[in-house]
């Protein structure tokens, strides 16, 4: 079967490059004649196809053998890539070599040609000669897009992949910004970010500035819908329940809703916080403490931040160590007024509300801790009282 000649039929019929890459098949059709000029006998032949990037010599960049290619009247037709998927990039000119029944490859090789429109996909320097948006997965790319990637029935995704660092370059005039990924970290260079919406960090994640972790707000008790788990007992270390209320005086200093003990005698407002799953080495408690009405000399309000408090024991006592504390003593005419009645009736006198926005910071990695607020007063709540509002827990 050596004395044969191969001719193309209407040139060589090909899919466009885009079709080749999407379908991994390339349609080919041609004629085979004997050296006498007569058509090759009808039958089924084994044909080997090879793609080269050189007209002569070189090494095939792709090869496949199809065992049963039908020839009728000297004409054969098949799809390249049936036996071995096409792997050529089709970004350059290729030449097709063909041999029959393990015979010698017929010369000359056939140069693959393309339709004029498919040439725009190759170009001369990998640049699209045409204007307008480019669509991937859509025949109607958005007019405002340079590249429109669409996935019907799925998630559209644009993937950038390199062997070292993947980089997206944003350029306008002489200014340039880059977004790079090295397999571990995403680095943004020369790019100012403006975020109109919120930024949500999963639990355990943090923001660093100048290689230092910033404080992260992890809990807020503003009492807008309830007591947020706070309780009131006689002393910080017992379980004798005391009465308290949630109020919202109309004053600039109230910080929204206030928790306020309503029972005369000693009252402690407290809550146990749990930071399990939130890595931290420091904890900060920010709060507003309110002094109401006629506090006497050397009466004081105080707070404690205990990070190693044990549960209540059998006697109803709570033991532990307060890591940090806060107190504010009346050393002058700090809180004086006509009495608590004005506050109670709702005809609030802003001059009667003295408050302090304070914070307590402890260096600890403990997950559970108690926050305690109390006062040292010798009169009833109608004459002396306190409250708390806007409790925030920060970690770093």
Best CA proximity match to 113, nearest among 139, 131, 95? 95
Q: What is the CATH number of the domain that holds 349?
A: 2.60.120.260
pLDDT of residue 334: 45
Q: Is residue 198 part of a domain?
A: no
- The count of domains in the chain is 2
Distance (Å, whole) CA 96 – CA 141: 35
Distance (Å, whole) CA 150 – CA 322: 59
pLDDT of residue 314: 54
Q: Are 359 and 289 in contact (CB under 8 A)?
A: no
Distance (Å, whole) CA 250 – CA 179: 49
Q: Is residue 250 part of a domain?
A: yes
Question: Last residue of a domain, which of 81, 111, 141?
Answer: 111
Question: Residue 85 corresponds to which tokens in the numbers above?
Answer: 């998927």
- In degrees rounded to 5, what are phi and psi of residue 359? -150, 155
- Cβ count near 23 (within 10 Å): 14
pLDDT of residue 22: 41
Distance (Å, whole) CA 237 – CA 311: 10
Q: What is the CATH number of the domain that holds 106?
A: 2.60.40
Question: Residue 340 corresponds to which tokens in the numbers above?
Answer: 């608590």
* Residue pLDDT, tens place only, 288-331: 888 877 676 677 788 888 765 444 555 555 555 556 677 776 54
Burial of 40 (0-12, 13-18, 19+ CB in 10 A): buried
pLDDT of residue 283: 92
103 lies in the same domain as 233: no
132: Cα separation from own chain's centroid: 31
pLDDT of residue 120: 57
Q: Are 289 and 354 in contact (CB under 8 A)?
A: no
Q: Where are the alpha helices (DSSP H) in the chain?
A: 17-23, 119-122, 341-345
Q: Is residue 317 part of a domain?
A: yes
Q: Is residue 47 part of a domain?
A: yes
Question: Last residue of a domain, which of 96, 111, 126?
Answer: 111
Length of the chain: 396
pTM assigned to the model? 0.52
Instruction: Using 70 as the pLDDT threshold, list the residues of the chain that sit under it.
Output: 1-24, 115-130, 203-204, 249-255, 294, 296-297, 307-324, 329-354
Q: What is the span of the domain harbouring residue 233?
A: 221-395
382 lies in the same domain as 243: yes
98 lies in the same domain as 236: no
Q: Are 353 and 254 in contact (CB under 8 A)?
A: yes
Question: Last residue of a domain, which of 88, 111, 134?
Answer: 111
Distance (Å, whole) CA 67 – CA 116: 33
pLDDT of residue 277: 87
- In degrees rounded to 5, what are phi and psi of residue 341? -60, -40
Q: Is residue 77 part of a domain?
A: yes
104 lies in the same domain as 250: no
Q: Are 303 and 373 in contact (CB under 8 A)?
A: yes
Q: Is residue 292 part of a domain?
A: yes
pLDDT of residue 211: 74
Q: Is residue 174 part of a domain?
A: no
* Residue pLDDT, tens place only, 213-267: 788 899 999 998 999 999 999 887 788 899 999 987 655 555 578 998 988 888 9
pLDDT of residue 380: 75
Q: Is residue 148 part of a domain?
A: no
pLDDT of residue 249: 65
């Amino acid at each position: 079967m050596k004395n044969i000649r191969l001719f193309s039929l209407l040139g060589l019929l090909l899919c466009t490059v885009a079709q080749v890459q999407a379908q991994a098949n390339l349609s080919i059709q041609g004629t085979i004649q004997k050296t006498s000029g007569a058509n090759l006998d009808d039958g089924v032949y084994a044909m080997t196809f090879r793609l080269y990037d050189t007209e002569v010599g070189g090494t095939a960049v792709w090869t496949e053998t199809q065992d049963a290619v039908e020839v009728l009247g000297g004409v054969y037709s098949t799809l390249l890539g049936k036996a071995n998927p096409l792997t050529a990039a089709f970004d350059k000119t290729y030449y097709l070599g063909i041999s029959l029944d393990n015979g010698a490859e017929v010369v000359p090789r056939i140069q693959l040609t393309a339709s004029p429109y498919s040439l725009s996909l190759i170009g001369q320097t990998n640049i699209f000669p045409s204007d307008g948006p480019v669509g991937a997965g859509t025949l109607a790319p958005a007019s405002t897009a340079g590249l429109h990637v669409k996935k019907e029935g799925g998630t559209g995704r644009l993937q950038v992949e390199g062997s070292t660092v993947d980089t997206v370059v944003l350029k306008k005039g002489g200014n340039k910004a880059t977004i790079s990924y090295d397999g571990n970290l995403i680095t943004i260079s020369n790019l100012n970010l403006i975020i109109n919406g919120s930024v949500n960090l999963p639990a355990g994640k943090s923001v660093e500035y100048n290689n230092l972790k910033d404080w992260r707000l992890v809990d807020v008790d503003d009492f807008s819908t309830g007591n947020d788990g706070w309780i009131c007992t006689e002393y910080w270390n017992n379980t004798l329940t005391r009465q308290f209320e949630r109020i919202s005086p109309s004053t600039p200093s109230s910080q929204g809703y206030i928790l306020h003990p309503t029972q005369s005698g000693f009252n402690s407002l407290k809550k146990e916080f749990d930071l399990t799953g939130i890595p931290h080495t420091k904890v900060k408690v920010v709060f507003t403490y309110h002094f109401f009405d006629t506090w006497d000399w050397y009466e004081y309000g105080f707070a404690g931040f205990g990070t190693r408090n044990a549960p209540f024991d059998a006697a109803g006592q709570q033991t532990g160590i307060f890591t940090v504390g806060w107190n504010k003593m009346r050393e002058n005419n700090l809180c004086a007024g006509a009495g608590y009645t004005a506050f109670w009736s709702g005809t609030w006198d802003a001059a009667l509300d003295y408050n302090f926005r304070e914070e307590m910071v402890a260096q600890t990695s403990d997950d559970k801790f108690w926050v305690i607020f109390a006062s040292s007063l010798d009169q009833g709540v109608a004459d002396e009282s306190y409250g708390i509002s806007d409790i925030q827990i920060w970690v770093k």
